[in-house]
């Protein structure tokens, strides 16, 4: 099971960040994880900032918060006791704040993103919880040729134990296939393919790549 894999040697009671372009399976990966956790009677919090969960699951704490300030407040005021927390995604509310603030104020938003990551890391250790945060890649604008795009959010990724990247393999009328691979990992080499996400008429499947 995906939950067992992540709670085992991959992430343990820590924070995993998954980043990738829109449509590369980040939310689908989280949904499979949530469904498994529900089946195991785990206590789950799902913070959705983009209405990614078109049909929210029942039996868990689900909140829709597009406002970055409210996301920050919710994370700082987290109650103990959750086994799994999904923040999907941190990128959109940060981008929204960037668009509405001047250059001198944008640094504060990045610092708050780091504070969110730090709070989640401490929470995971205290509560033996698995936490997954999704985000987008940084902008290509102004980057040198050959620059490897990192997760959006500046240095916040250094607070996460594992950082993985999603990529599209193909998307056709009868289905979509995506790959999850290591990006900044304490367990795997960069680029190692970890999971394949298949989305089709038959449903959703996430398989470990060995």
CB atoms within 10 A of CB 84: 25
Angle at 67 between CA 65 and CA 68, to 5 degrees: 110
pLDDT computed for residue 96 by the predictor: 87
Helix, strand, coil abundance in the chain, percent, nearest 5: 35, 30, 35
Give the per-residue pLDDT at 147. 81
Q: What is the pLDDT of residues 111-132, one digit of tens each?
A: 999 999 999 999 999 999 999 9
What pLDDT, in 10s, does the model give residues 182-208? 999 999 999 999 999 999 888 899 999
Q: Is the peptide bond before 89 cis (omega within 30 degrees of 0)?
A: yes
- Give yes or no for residue 54 having a pLDDT over 80: no
Q: Which pair of tokens denotes residue 60?
A: 């868990």
pTM: 0.93
Task: State which H helix or E strand residue 141 sits in.
Answer: none
Structure confidence at residue 108 as a pLDDT band (50, 70, 90): confident
* pLDDT, tens only, 140-199: 777 788 888 788 877 888 999 999 999 999 999 888 999 999 999 999 999 999 999 999
Report the mean per-residue pLDDT for the chain.
Answer: 91
Instruction: Quote the percentage of the chain above a pLDDT of 90.
Output: 68
78, 116, 126 from 123: Cα distances, Å? 8, 10, 5
- pLDDT category of residue 210 using cuts at 50, 70 and 90: confident
Cα gap 83→130, rounded to integer Å: 6
Selected residue with higher pLDDT from 77 and 147 = 77
Which domains, and CATH codes, for the chain? 2-165 (3.40.50.300)
pLDDT value at residue 36: 94
């Amino acid at each position: 099971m995906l939950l067992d894999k992540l709670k085992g040697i991959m992430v343990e009671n820590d924070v995993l960040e998954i980043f990738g372009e829109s449509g590369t399976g980040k939310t689908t990966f989280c949904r499979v994880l949530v469904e498994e956790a529900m089946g195991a009677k785990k206590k789950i919090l799902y913070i959705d900032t983009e209405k990614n969960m078109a049909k929210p699951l029942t039996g868990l704490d689900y909140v829709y918060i597009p406002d970055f300030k409210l996301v920050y407040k919710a994370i700082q005021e987290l109650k103990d006791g959750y086994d799994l927390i999904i923040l999907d995604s941190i990128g959109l509310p940060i981008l929204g704040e960037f668009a509405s603030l001047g250059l001198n104020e944008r640094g504060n938003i990045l610092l708050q993103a780091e504070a969110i990551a730090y709070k989640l890391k401490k929470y995971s250790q205290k509560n033996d919880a698995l936490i997954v945060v999704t985000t987008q890649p940084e902008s290509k604008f102004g980057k040198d040729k050959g620059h490897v795009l990192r997760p959006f959010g500046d240095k916040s990724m250094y607070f996460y134990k594992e950082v993985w990247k999603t990529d599209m393999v193909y998307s056709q009328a009868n289905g979509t296939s995506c790959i999850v691979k290591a990006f900044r990992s304490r367990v795997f080499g960069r680029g190692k393919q970890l999971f394949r996400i298949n989305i089709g008429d038959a449903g959703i499947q996430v398989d470990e790549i060995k």
